[in-house]
Amino acid sequence: MGTLRRRAGAYGLLAPGTIWLVLFFLIPLYFLGRLSLNVNVGGVYYPFDWHWKNYSDALSLYDTQFIRSFVYSLVATLICLVLAYPLAYAIAFKAGKWRHAMLLAVVAPFFTTYLIRTISWVTILSDESPVVEVLQFLHIAPSGQVLATPAAVVSGLVYNYLPFMVLPIYASLERLDTRLLEAAKDLYADTKTTFLKVTLPLSAPGVVAGTLLTFIPATGDYVNAEFLGSSNSQMIGNVIQSLYLKQQEYPAAAALSFVLMAIILIIVLIYIRFAGSEALMGEEGAAI
Amino acid sequence: MSATPMASTAKAPRMGFGKWLREHAVLIIGLLVIAYMLIPIAVIFVFSFNNPAGRYNFTWVGFTLDHWKNVFGIPELNEALWTSIKLALLTTLFSTVIGTMMALALVRHQFFGRRAANFLIVIPMATPEIVMGSSLLSFFLILGTPLGFRTLLIAHVMFCISFVVVVVRSRLIGFDRRLEEAAKDLGATPFETFRLITLPLILPGVFGGALLAFALSIDDFVISNFNAGTTVTFPIYIFGAFQRGVPVEVNCIAMILFGITVLAMGFTTWQQRRAEKMASIRPEQEEEVVPLPPVSAAT
C-alpha cells in the first residue's frame, strides 16, 4: 500500500516534465523526419510521399558543408581539450585559495550574450587589430587577414565552447582521491608517470563528457560561421537555417537536419557505451 | 607546491628560474587560458565607451559616455530586451518547477522506467540546438501553429528542463534524508516536512537551476530564431542588426546583464554556503547526549 502510493507519487512528480519533453522534443523529431520525406512542390502544403530523394539531393548538394562542419568542430574540440586540460588541472590542484575566482572566470563568458561575445571577435580579429598585426609580423597570417577565414570560424568555436570542456574535466579532477596520487608517489612513480597512470585515466570521464559537450553544439553551430566566416566557410547549420527561414525549402532542410542528428546520435551512443551515461549526466551537473 | 626546505637547500641555494617555471607551468598556462576567455568581455566593456565614426562598432575611434547615457534610448532594442526578459522569467518559472519535480522523483524514488526518464532528460542536452529548433519548427508548421511568444515559451521551457534537473539533482544527492525522518518522528505532516525541512535545504540548488534556466533562456538565439515568427528577442535583434551595424548601446546592455548575473551568482553561492551550514548542524556523536537523570521516586 505504502510503496504503491510512493510509486504513484514518483510518477506524479515526473509527469509534467515527461509530457513536456515528449510533446515538444520527441514528437517534433518525428515531425522533422516526416517533413524530410515530403515532396517539395513549393508553397505551404507538402504532400507526404516517402520522398527519399530529398536525402540524396540534399547530401549531394551540401556534402561540402557537412564535411566542413565535422572537420571544424573536431579541430575546435581538440584545441579546446588542449587548452582546457591544463586550466582544469591548474584550478583543481594549483589554484589554492584562487580556485573560486578562477572558476568564476571560466563561467564569466556565459554571463554575456553569446552573440555579442562572438561579435567582439570581429573586433579582435579585424585587419587593424593588434592581434592580427602580431600574427602578420610572425608570418602566421601571410595574407594579412584572419577574419572571414576558416581559422576565424574555428577560433570562434573554440572560444565559445571552451567552458563546456573545462567544467566537466575540472569536476572529474576535483573529485579525484588525492590519496591515490600520494600512493603513486610512495611507490616511486615520478610526476610524469603519476599523471599518465593515475590522474589522466581517472579524469577520462570528464574528458569524454567535455569533448561531447563541445563537439555536439559546435557541429551544429552557425553563428560563428555567419559572423566570422565567409561563403567559403559556411557550415551545415548555415545551410539548414537558410533553407528553413529564407528559402522555405522545408523538406530539404529537414532532411539535412535529420542526417545531422542521426550522425551525432551515433557518435554519442558510441561514446556513452564507451564511457557510461553517468559521465554525461553526473559530471556536468556537478560542475555547474 | 612549495619544495621542502631540506630539498631546496640540498640542491641549490636559490631556486633557478627554469625550475620555478617548470613548477608553475600548469598554473601559468591556466592563467593564460583564463586571460583568453576574459579578453572578449573586456573588449565588449571597452567598446561600450567607443564613439564609432560609422555604424560599425569594430574599430576604436574615441571615448564617449553618450551611449551609456542613451542605454534605453532605442525603442526597438528596448522592446526586444523586454520580450527577452518576460520570456526568460516565464521560462524560469515553468522549467524550475517542472525540473525540480523531476529531480525529486529521480533521486528519491525507485520506479519502473527510471532509465527511460534519465535518457529523456539527457538526450535534449546531447542534441544540437539547430536540430531542436528545426524539429520544433517542423512540428509547428505541420500543425499550423502560429509562431510567436507562445511557441518561444514552449521551446525555451523544453530546452531548460534538462539543465534544471541536472543542477537540482546534483544538490539533492548530498541531502541528508535523516533530517526529514527526524521531522516525521517529531510529528510533522508530509507537507510540513517538505515546507520546513526539504524546501529550505534544496532551495539553493533550485535557485541555481533557476538561474541557469534564466541565463540559457535570455541568451538563446538558435532555437528562438527558428520559432519566433515575427517576435524579436534581444539576441534576435542583435543578429538582425549585425549586417547594418550593432548599436553601441547593445554593449552597454550586455555589461549591465553581466553585472546583474555576477551579483545573482554571488547570491546563490552565499545561499548555498548557508544551507550547507544549516545541514551540518546536527548531533553527530550520540555519546555526547547526556542521559536523563533517573526519575525521582519522590513524585
What is the tens place of the pLDDT at every residue in A187-204?
Answer: 887 888 888 888 888 888
Whether A281 shows a pLDDT value over 70: the answer reads no
Nearest to B138 among A17, A31, A284 (CB): A31
- The answer to whether A75 faces chain B, any CB pair under 8 Å, is no
What residue of A is the nearest CA neighbor of B156? A24
Q: What is the pLDDT of residue B283?
A: 46
Q: What is the pLDDT of residue A6?
A: 67
Sign of the alpha-carbon torsion through A41, A46, A50, A54: positive
DSSP string, A186-212: HTT--HHHHIIIIIHHHTHHHHHHHHH
Whether B282 shows a pLDDT value over 70: the answer reads no
Please tell me the distance from the alpha carbon of residue B133 to that of residue B85, in angstroms, as a whole number.
Answer: 20
CA distance B281 to chain A (A): 23
Record: contact B226-A108, CB cut-off 8 A: no
How far is C-alpha B103 from the chain's CA centre? 16
Whether A17 shows a pLDDT value over 60: the answer reads yes
Q: What is the pLDDT of residue B294?
A: 43
Nearest to B26 among A18, A32, A89 (CB): A89
Q: Which of B108, B130, B136 would you mutate first to test chain A, the one with the most A CBs within 10 A?
A: B130
Q: Which residues of A touch B126 (CB under 8 A)?
A: 212, 216, 264-265, 268, 280
Regarding predicted confidence, which is higher, B61 or A169?
Answer: A169
Record: contact B155-A90, CB cut-off 8 A: no
Please tell me the distance from the alpha carbon of residue A7 to that of residue A10, in angstroms, as a whole number.
Answer: 5
Q: Which residues of A touch B258 (CB under 8 A)?
A: 108, 111-112
Give first-to-last CA distance, chain A, whole Å.
Answer: 39
| Mean pLDDT calculated for residue range B242-260 | 90
How many distinct structural domains can be found in chain B? 1
Record: contact B38-A17, CB cut-off 8 A: no
Q: Which residues of A touch B163 (CB under 8 A)?
A: 288
Whether A284 shows a pLDDT value over 80: the answer reads no
Please tell me the distance from the alpha carbon of residue B79 to that of residue B230, in angstroms, as a whole number.
Answer: 13
Burial of residue B59 (CB within 10 Å: 0-12, 13-18, 19+) is: middle
Q: Which of A74-88, A130-144, A236-250, B231-245 has the lowest mean pLDDT?
A: A130-144
Which among A77, A225, A55 has a CA at the least distance from the CA of A162? A77
Q: Which of B97, B114, B131, B257 would you mutate first to test chain A, the one with the most A CBs within 10 A?
A: B131
* B276-to-A103, B100, B175, B184 alpha-carbon distances in Å: 20, 19, 10, 21
- The answer to whether B99 faces chain A, any CB pair under 8 Å, is yes
Residue indicated by cell numbers 525529486 = B104
Q: What is the pLDDT of residue A94?
A: 87
- Report chain B's mean pLDDT, rounded to a whole number: 84
Whether B13 shows a pLDDT value over 70: the answer reads no
A127: which 3 cell numbers?
A: 585587419
Nearest to B131 among A90, A220, A277 (CB): A220
| DSSP reduced 3-state for B50 | strand
- Report chain A's mean pLDDT, rounded to a whole number: 84
CATH code (residue B207) = 1.10.3720.10
Which among B255, B120, B150, B274 has a CA at the least distance from the CA of B204? B274
Residue B174 domain-assigned (yes or no): yes
Residue B130 domain-assigned (yes or no): yes
Q: How many CB atoms lie within 10 A of CB A43?
A: 7
Q: A with B: how many residue pairs have Cβ under 8 Å apart?
A: 277
Return all residues near B136 (Cβ < 8 A) that are at least 6 apart. Answer: A24, A28, B151, B154, B155, B158, B223, B226, B227
| Mean pLDDT calculated for residue range A71-99 | 92
Q: What DSSP state is assigned to residue A149?
A: S
Q: Which residues of B touch A25 (CB under 8 A)?
A: 120, 123-124, 127, 132, 135, 158
Q: Which of A230-239, A268-277, B53-62, B255-264 has the lowest mean pLDDT?
A: A268-277
CATH code of domain A62-287: 1.10.3720.10
Nearest to A18 among B120, B127, B169 (CB): B120
Record: contact A32-B129, CB cut-off 8 A: no
- Most confident residue range from A220-229, A261-270, B54-63: A220-229
Whether B228 shows a pLDDT value over 50: the answer reads yes
Record: contact B125-A105, CB cut-off 8 A: no
Residue B258 domain-assigned (yes or no): no
Domain containing residue B197: 75-246
Whether B64 shows a pLDDT value over 80: the answer reads yes
CA distance A31 to chain B (A): 5
- The answer to whether B247 faces chain A, any CB pair under 8 Å, is no
Please tell me the distance from the alpha carbon of residue B201 to that of residue B197, in angstroms, as a whole number.
Answer: 6
Residue indicated by cell numbers 556534402 = A63
Residue B270 domain-assigned (yes or no): no
DSSP run (H or E) holding B27: helix B17-46
Return all residues near A125 (Cβ < 8 A) that are at least 6 apart. Answer: A131, A132, A146, A147, A152, A155, A228
Whether B298 shows a pLDDT value over 60: the answer reads no
What residue of B is the nearest CA neighbor of A237? B130
Kindly indicate the confidence band of residue B275, based on its pLDDT and cuts at 50, 70 and 90: confident
Record: contact B126-A216, CB cut-off 8 A: yes
Q: Which of A42-56, B107-121, B140-154 has the lowest mean pLDDT?
A: A42-56
In this prediction the ipTM stands at: 0.85
* A262-to-A25, A27, A33, A53, A259 alpha-carbon distances in Å: 15, 16, 11, 17, 5
